[in-house]
Structure 1
Amino acid sequence: MKRDAFHTARAFIDLYFPACQIAVLSGSVVRGEETHSSDLDIVIIDQEPFRKSYYYCEWPIEAFVHNENSLEDAFFIETQHGVPLMTRMCAEGTVLKGGKEAEKIIEEAQGSLLEGPSALSPSKLDELRYAISDKLDDLEGSTMPEEDIYSVSALIESLHQFILRINQKWVGEGKWMYRSLKNYDEALAGQLTKCLQSFYTRQEKGELIKFVDEILAPHGGRLFHDYYARF
């Protein structure tokens, strides 16, 4: 049987990173959403930045090791790209080691998470619009159901970025794509999920194409003619 997550994380830090300044436990175990396959995500402030995976006391553990400069850099880069991996881990974390200094990092991350990412530039908006339009055209013209599966997968990744970034909200990866959309607009996330279920269960792509076109419409619709990007 697995040991308690918090005490396991403390023991892990004592064994592998005894000299570290700060350690923060994060992830699903902190949110109360853990499953049998959950791991322990631990942000550690030490000397050299790296990421490493471990098994300890039957727990898979992901160690995200930073120094103070590299953590600040990570926070800044995430505001530019819109994916708050480290920001969210710190914001949702609970202190394992470091006291008030660890709390300061958590508070900074919480503030950044609330503020949201940097505004999307017009060129990036056009880039996403063009990518979505291209995938929509492929999907509309396709007669190969096997290819449609991959086209839809790529389309949704671009679409969820478009929806969230134009509204200056954080985007996600994997399961966080849905979670991020739901946090922004639960009804919208439900609509998109319904369209995807229609596609994946009945190969009905019309609903999805209509939904995406409605999302693009207030922003100029599909983009092809006169699209310009510098290499």
Structure 2
Amino acid sequence: MKRDAFHTARAFIDSYFPDCQSAVLSGSVVRGEETPSSDLDIVVIDREPFRQSYYYCKWPVEVFVHNKDSLEDALFIETQHGIPLMTRLCAEGMVIKGGREAEKMIEEAKKSLIEGPCALPLNKLNELRYAISDNLDDLEGSERPEEDIYSVSSLTESLHQFILRSNQKWAGEGKWMYRSLRDYDEALAVRLTECLQSFYTRQEKGELIRFVDEILAPHGGRLFHDYYARF
């Protein structure tokens, strides 16, 4: 952790949220993965829930404010949606304020992170499988490299969700797509990344298409015929 990160976070809470019940510092500075552009992610338990960004002592600061009810609701919703933003922020937190209550919040979030999200219903898995199949068909038939870029972007997002949610694991957004796949199966994450690099550097899409078909095969392969979804 940057030497002044925790002290800056504590001074920030004293200045902006002096009456809050609890506060924990989280994010890359706590994990020891900070970069020159890292910010301070702080979860605050106070009265009204909101999210706000600040600059404080030259640090960018992102604050996620909840009360106990709204935090409980947020963590529950994440188990349904499968992306653990607040769950991870709480689980990785370092107590700034709140003592045992803050520690209990961290412990409960760690337990939830280990347990994973709720199982995704078959109709939702098929929805992802259909979207992946549609992107694969577009990619195979396309003769427009500029359009392929967007098809692959959409495919990557749906595919990573399908892999993880079909195994009842947390998914992610942005860089957390790779991190979540790596945490689940490092070899699989490396192979997918190599396929994507082949596409983006050499416009080679065959490796990616074969990889995705391998992922879909145990689930019945590509889905089009008889796919049904209610609006």
Deviation per residue, 1:32-53 (Å, 9 max, x gap): 0000000000000000000000
Q: Which residue of 2 aligns with 1:80?
A: 80
The answer to whether residue 126 in structure 2 is matched with residue 103 in structure 1 is: no
Structure 1 residue 3, shift from structure 2 partner: 6.9
The secondary structure found in structure 1 opposite 2:229 is coil
User: Partner of 2:120 in structure 1?
Assistant: 120
Counterpart-to-counterpart distance in 1, 2:229 and 2:116: 26
Equivalent residue pairs, number: 230
User: d(CA) in 2 for partners of 1:175 and 1:208?
Assistant: 19
2:213 matched to which residue of 1?
A: 213
2:41 equivalent in structure 1: 41
Q: Which residue of 1 aligns with 2:153?
A: 153
CA distance in 2: counterparts of 1:228 and 1:57, whole angstroms: 55
Regions of 4+ moved over 3 Å = none
Contact 1:26 / 1:40 at 8 angstroms: preserved in 2? Answer: yes
Does 1:11 pair with 2:11?
yes
Tell me, in whole angstroms, the C-alpha distance in 1 between the residues paired with 2:13 and 2:148.
47
CA distance in 2, matches of 1:104, 1:74: 16
Deviation string for 1:42-99 (max 9, x for gaps)?
Answer: 0000000000000000000000000000000011000000000000000001000000
Query: Aligned AA for 1:43?
Result: V
**What amino acid maps onto 2:32 in structure 1?**
G
> What code does the residue aligned with 2:22 have?
I
Partner SS, residue 23 of structure 1: strand
Q: Residue 213 of structure 1 contacts residue 222 of structure 1 at CA under 8 Å; is this kept in 2?
A: yes
The code of the aligned residue for 1:32 comes to G
Structure 1 partner of 2:66 = 66
CA distance in 1, matches of 2:229, 2:193: 32
- For 1:183, the equivalent position in structure 2 comes to 183
Given the two structures, how large is their TM-score scaled by the length of structure 1?
Answer: 0.99
Matched to 2:215, the amino acid is: I
One-letter identity of the residue aligned with 1:128: L
| Letter paired with 2:36 | H
- What displacement does 1:205 show? 0.1
Cα distance, 1:28 vs structure 2: 0.1
* Residues in 1 aligned to 2:140 and 2:17: alpha-carbon distance in whole angstroms: 54
How far off is 1:213 after superposition? 0.3
The question of whether the paired residues in 2 share the 8 Å contact of 1:23 and 1:43 is answered with yes
Gaps of 5+ in 2: none
The aligned amino acid for 1:187 is A
3-state DSSP of counterpart to 1:163: helix
Q: Which 5+ residue runs of structure 1 have no aligned equivalent?
A: none
d(CA) in 1 for partners of 2:106, 2:23: 11
| Equivalent residue, structure 1, for 2:198 | 198
